[in-house]
Amino acid sequence: MMGNSASGLNRKQSNLVNKIEQAYNMMLAEFPFSTEALSKSLATIELDDLSEASKSFRQEEKVKVNRIFKYFKILKDCEDYFIKFNADENESSAHALKDRLMSDQNIVIRVTEIIREIDPKGKLNVSSLFNDLYNLYGEHIFALRDYLLTESTRRVEYQLRLLSDKQRSVMLLLKEKEDELSNSMRDSFNKSEMEMLDNVNEARKQSFIEISEREENFRKFISSTEKKHAEKISIQEKEIFELILNNKSEILEQMKTESDKVTGEFNDAFSSNLDSSKIKIEQHVSGFEESNNEIKKMLEATGSGLLANNNLCQAEKEKKSADRLRFGGTLILTCLILYTGFEVNELITKVDKINTMFLLVRFLLIFLVTMPGIYLLKESSRHRADERKYRKVGIQLATINAYLDSFSAEEKGKIKQDLTSNFFGDGDVKSDISTVPDMQKSIDKLLDTISSMAKK
């Protein structure tokens, strides 16, 4: 029994393999295949039976059957993709088509699912599967590409012809509609224009008639009014002329009386106003003179005070400068005295080291250091003299007004003219340098001392 069942299974397996190979060869013979040819080739194989029967195949047959089964499932699931694929001009090689196939995520995902169904243990490789697919169908890819390009070009040309025909028909229809619309608009516009011109002309005629009637009525009214006013004016002129003739003498007497009265009142008022104005003017002039004198006094006092303050401020500046210079000169001379005391002590304690060069160097040093101190003291004396001058001028300017109040205006002018050279002259101020050592005398004494020491 087992032998009969085994032989039956082997026959079934052989039949399935032969059927698969026949379907595969038939499909390749009809390449480039269409959707119907691929469906007819795959319909002769029951994939479920093939999957079930492949479990008992021998190892070499099992590999072959599984590989063919795998390719057919991929072709079955990729059927729409191969049919609808539109190759670009740049994709002119089979490798480009292969890369395009492997870059499509939908195809890769579907192929991966198929591989998991066929090989649950994961021994197969996706890249090797696509390589096998390429090797199996590589020689037909160029034919597939040419077929698709030709079919695509034919469809595009056909669509373009349809579009061109539709465009021509639409353009003709648009042209007809445009002409029809233009004619209708032109007719309606001409009709409306004529009606509008008729209405305007009618309105213009009616307005002209009304204006003419109103103008005639207005002229009649003006002429009648002018006649009435002319009659009234002539009557009034006659009445006024008669009245003037009758009352001429009385009117002249009244006019003379009123004129004399007005003239007298005007003269009296003018005389009184003139006298009061003279008194007020004299009062204002005297007040102005008094105010002017007071202002002059105030200006003189203010000017003298300002000059006095400026001179006193300058005196303070000179005093500060003199004090700083005197302090500097005194400090230098004090340091020099201390140094001299130190050197005298050295001369007393170290007599054996004294010689002419020793003394000459020290006296020369003392002399050179004394020069800046003496210069500072002289500058201090000059600033002190300027301080006295500015302070004296400031005090004199501050008291000059009180001194001149007892003199008359002429005497004040003469005294001020005499004092001008004193206040604003450029007289040299001699500096008091009696307290500053005389360098010439000091040098003479120093030379005498050195010469006497050299003789000894």
pLDDT of 88 above 70: no
Q: How confident is the model at residue 80 (pLDDT cuts 50, 70, 90)?
A: very low
Residue with tokens 């207005």: 218
Q: Which two tokens stand for residue 79?
A: 């059927």
Q: How confident is the model at residue 46 (pLDDT cuts 50, 70, 90)?
A: very low
Q: Give the residue-averaged pLDDT of 399-405.
A: 68
pLDDT of 83 above 60: no
Distance CA 454, CA 452 (A): 5
Name residues whose C-beta falls within 8 Å of residue 305's C-beta, 6 or more positions apart in sequence: 397, 398
Of 155 and 245, more confident: 245
pLDDT reported for residue 440:
57
Distance CA 58, CA 241 (A): 163
Q: Give the residue-averaged pLDDT of 347-374.
A: 75
Q: How confident is the model at residue 72 (pLDDT cuts 50, 70, 90)?
A: low
